[in-house]
A and B are shown apart, each in its own frame.
Chain A
Amino acid sequence: MTYKFIGKRIKRNEDPRLLTGQALFVDDVDIPGMLHVAFVRSDYAHARILNIETEAARQHPGVVAVYTAEDMGDEWAPGPPLVSPPPTLAGVIFNSRRQSPLAKGKVYHAGEAIVAIVAESRYIAEDAADEVRVDYEPLPVVVDLEKAMGPDSPRVHDDLDTNLAAHMFQKKGDYEVARAQADLIIKKKFFLDRGAAVAMENRGVVAHWDEKSQQMTIWDTTQAPIPIRNGTAARLGLSQKQVRVIAPFLGGGFGPKAMMFYPEEMLIPWLSMKLCRPIKWIEDRRENFYATTSERQQVHEVEIALTNDGRVLGLKDDFLHDTGAFDPYGLTIPLNTQCHVTGPYDIQNIASNCTAVFTNKPIVTPVRGAGRPQGVFIIERMMDFAARELGMEPLELRVKNLIPPEAFPYDKEIIDQAFAKLILDSGNYLPVVEKAREMIGYDQFIKEEQPRLRAEGKFVGIGITPFIETTGVGPYEGVRIQIEPSGKVNVATGIGTQGQGHFTSFAQIVSEQLGVAVSDVSLVSGDTAEFHWGTGTFASRGAVVAGSATLAAATSVRTKVLKLASKVLETPEEELELEDGVVRVADLPHRSISLGELAALANPLRGAVEPGTEPGLEATDYFGPAYGATSFGVHAMIIEVDPETMMIEFKRYITVEDCGTVLNPLILEGQIHGGVSMGIGNSYYEKMHWDENGQLLNASLADYLIVTAHEMPNRIEVGHLETRSPFNKLGTKGVGEAGAIPVTACFTQALENALEEYHLEILESPLSPNRLYELLRNLTMSTYGREARK
Chain B
Amino acid sequence: MKIEGEYTFTGPREKVWEIIRDPEILATALPGTKKLELVGENEYEGEMQVRIGPVAGVFGGKLIVSNEVAPESLTLTVEGVGKVGFLKGSGDIVLRDQDGNSTLMKYSGEVQIGGKVASVGQRLFDAVSKSMIRQGLGKLNEALRV
Contacts and interface: CB of A to CB of B under 8 A. Distances in A.
A286 B55 CA distance: 12
Contact of A691 (B83, B116, B118): B118
Given A43-B85, A43-B86, A130-B83, A703 B114 contact: no
Contacts of B119: 110, 286, 289-290, 695-700
Contact of B120 (A43, A110, A286): A286
Contact of B116 (A45, A286, A693, A703): A286
Interface string B104-131: 0000000011111011101100000000
Contacts of A699: 119-120
A45 B122 CA distance: 16
Contact of A693 (B83, B112, B123): B112
Contact of A697 (B85, B86, B123): B123
Contacts of B118: 691, 695-697
Contacts of A290: 119
A44 interface: yes
A698 B113 CA distance: 13
B114 A44 contact: yes
B127 to A, nearest CB: 14
Interface string B57-95: 000000000000000000000000001011000000000
A136 to B, nearest CB: 8
A144 to B, nearest CB: 16
Specify the main secondary structure of chain A where it touches its partner. Answer: loop
The interface residues of chain B, by DSSP majority, are classed as mixed
Interface residues of A, number: 17
Contacts of B122: 691, 695, 697-698, 703
A751 to B, nearest CB: 26
Interface residues of B, number: 13
B114 A43 contact: yes
Contacts of A130: 83
Contacts of B83: 130
A110 B123 contact: no
B142 to A, nearest CB: 35
Nearest to A130: B83
B114 A110 contact: yes
A699 B116 CA distance: 9
Nearest to A45: B114
A130 B116 CA distance: 12
Nearest to B123: A703
A693 B114 contact: yes
A388 B56 CA distance: 53
A44 B115 CA distance: 7
B114 to A, nearest CB: 5
B146 to A, nearest CB: 39
Give the most central of B86, B115, B120, B123: most A CB within 10 Å: B120
A695 B113 CA distance: 8
Contacts of A289: 119
B120 to A, nearest CB: 5
Contacts of B113: 695
B123 A43 contact: no
A700 B114 CA distance: 15
A320 B103 CA distance: 53
Given A43-B116, A286-B120, A703-B123, 14 more contacts: A43-B115, A45-B114, A110-B114, A130-B83, A286-B119, A290-B119, A691-B122, A695-B114, A695-B118, A697-B118, A697-B122, A698-B123, A703-B120, A703-B122
23 contacts: A43-B85, A43-B116, A44-B86, A44-B114, A45-B114, A110-B114, A110-B115, A130-B83, A289-B119, A691-B118, A691-B122, A693-B112, A693-B114, A695-B113, A695-B115, A695-B119, A697-B118, A697-B122, A698-B123, A699-B119, A700-B120, A703-B120, A703-B122
Interface of A: 43-45, 110, 130, 286, 289-290, 691, 693, 695-700, 703
For the complex of A and B, the 7 pairs showing the least CB-CB separation, nearest first, are: A43-B115, A699-B119, A697-B122, A695-B118, A130-B83, A43-B114, A695-B114
